[in-house]
Every structure is written in structure tokens, then in C-alpha cells.
Amino acid sequence: MARLVLAVVLALAAVATARMAYVLPDAAETLLRARSLQTTFTCDNRAYGYYADVDNNCEIFHVCYPIVDETGALLETAHFSFVCGNQTVFNQESLTCSHADDAFPCEEAANLFDISNSDIMAHLVLAVVLALAAVATARMAYVLPDAAETLLRARSLQTTFTCDNRAYGYYADVDNNCEIFHVCYPIVDETGALLETAHFSFVCGNQTVFNQESLTCSHADDAFPCEEAANLFDISNSEFGVIPERR
């Protein structure tokens, strides 16, 4: 786990048989490769919400997500980041990626941080997040598999898949013809003891399915057979999230 720099996750209600699947704001780009991210933005003392990164001309945005214990006491504030794609920027007013000409001025975005995020918890049941290494000045940004669709609306998801006793990794949902895939993410305490395994889910878009062999969304004709995907769960995830050594 020490070598895992990322978790690309879509937070869902923790109900295994009837989940609500959510995804990213329109035009949030999804990449599998690393991108060096220099920023002074920090989630310290931030409420849960979306925040434009003015240092990066609002091409990046962050999600701050307070993590609390069962008593409601703050344990830490998780810091996640996204890249806006297709030459778009993050619009702090609408909390979406949009063309610069249509967006709230980037240099003034901080003025809207409290206003635009004030009722985000009332409208969002989820955190759609890209986890980054917890280093504020030099992060490695990773995002979703190619063609993972991004929507803000809920989708009812019926599945028998569970993350119980699963290692950290990506798992095709055979119940849903591999149009859905899941991320299982073990959460440990400071001693390394397992607290729980978080269960997150994604929708593959553009009529693609999740290819368990390559861990990407691809056309069905090019993908590993969905009905056999479970045979690759352990194999394909054995090196999941491990960053290759630089040569």
C-alpha cells in the first residue's frame, strides 16, 4: 500500500444490492498516465466541496472530503484532484468543467469557494474523486480508464458484487454485462489494521464495457470475455496501482 499513489474512485452508498452510481462533472478528462501537478492549494480547514485550482488556470479542480469517525470527530480531510479535459476549465460558479469563455473568471474563483459549496452536501450524495498522493507541492494525478463515462445524475445499480475480502483493485461487474466496474479500496488505521473495505463503482460509457485484462473500458469485441472476467480478478489486480520504477 505504501507504493500506491492513487485510487480512482466513485463514492456510492454502501448498499451492496442496490447502489447509486455517480460520476464526474461534464468534460472532466480521464487518463491512465501520471501527470505532475504543482499547486499551493490545500484542503486544510476546507468544507466538503469542489475547488478550482487557480495556480493551474482552473484546468485542475480539487475535492475536499472530510473523514470523520463514528462520533463525528474529524480524522482528516482527504484531498482529491481532477483534470478538466477538452480544453475546458473548472467553472467555480456552476461546479462543472466548461469553456473558458463561459466560465466564471478563474482569478476570482476563490471568492466563490464558500458560496458555491455551501449546500453541496444537500445535493450531492457522493464524492467522485481521484485520489492523489498526500503531497501538496508535487502530486501525481491519475484518472479513470479510457471511456469511463461522466454523469452527475444517479443511476440505479443492481449487483451481487461485494468488496468483502477483496484486494485493492478494479473488478468488472458480470451481473451488469461488464458495463459497470468496481473499485475495492481497503481502509487501514495507523497500525495497518483493516478498518473496512470501501466499495466504489463506475459506469463505462460510449457503449463500452470493462476489460478485466487491460483494466480499461473498451469495445466489447476487443475486451476479455465478460463472463470469464472473474478468472482474472487476482491476476490483473496483482500489480494494480503500483507505479513502475523509473528507468
Which grid coordinates belong to 8? 480512482
| Residue position matching grid coordinates 490545500 | 42
Of residues 125 and 90, more confidence is placed in 90
Instruction: Dihedral sign for Cα 219, 225, 231, 232, please.
Output: negative
pLDDT band at 52 (very low <50, low <70, confident <90, very high): very high
Residue 46 has pLDDT above 80, yes or no: yes
Full-model pTM: 0.48
Share of the chain above pLDDT 70, in %: 62
For residues 163, 79, 115, 68, the Cα torsion angle rounded to the nearest 10 degrees is: 60
* Closest CA relative to residue 198, chosen from 168, 176, 237: 168
Which grid coordinates belong to 150? 461522466
For residue 108, report the phi and psi dihedrals to the nearest 5 degrees.
-105, 5
Q: What's the mean pLDDT when you consider all of the chain? A: 67
Highest mean pLDDT among 25-29, 55-59, 195-199: 55-59
Residue 127 has pLDDT above 60, yes or no: no
Residue 99 has pLDDT above 80, yes or no: yes
Residues in CB range of 123: below 8 A, 6 or more apart? none
CB burial string 67-91: b at 16+ within 10 A, e below: eeeeeeeeeebbbbbbbbbeebbbb
The CA distance from 122 to 106, in Å, is 25
Residue 37 has pLDDT above 80, yes or no: no
Residue 58 has pLDDT above 60, yes or no: yes
pLDDT band at 80 (very low <50, low <70, confident <90, very high): low
For 5, 6, 106, 192, the CA distances from 2, given in Å and listed in that order, are 8, 11, 35, 11
Of residues 207 and 44, more confidence is placed in 44
Which pLDDT score is estimated for 122? 40
CB of 8 closer than 8 Å to CB of 130: yes
pLDDT in tens, 148-161: 444 323 345 678 89
pLDDT band at 134 (very low <50, low <70, confident <90, very high): very low
Helix (H) or strand (E) holding 122: helix 120-123
pLDDT in tens, 165-210: 998 888 999 999 998 888 787 777 778 888 878 776 777 766 778 8
For 19, 100, 142, the CA distances from 72, given in Å and listed in that order, are 24, 39, 30
Residue 222 has pLDDT above 80, yes or no: yes
Query: Would you kindly state where each structural domain of the chain is located, as residue ranges?
Result: 25-141, 155-236
Estimate the share of the chain in helix, then strand, then coil, as percent rounded to the nearest 5.
15, 35, 50
Per-residue pLDDT averaged across 11-28, rounded? 33
The CA distance from 61 to 91, in Å, is 9
Of residues 52 and 218, more confidence is placed in 52
Helix (H) or strand (E) holding 116: helix 113-116
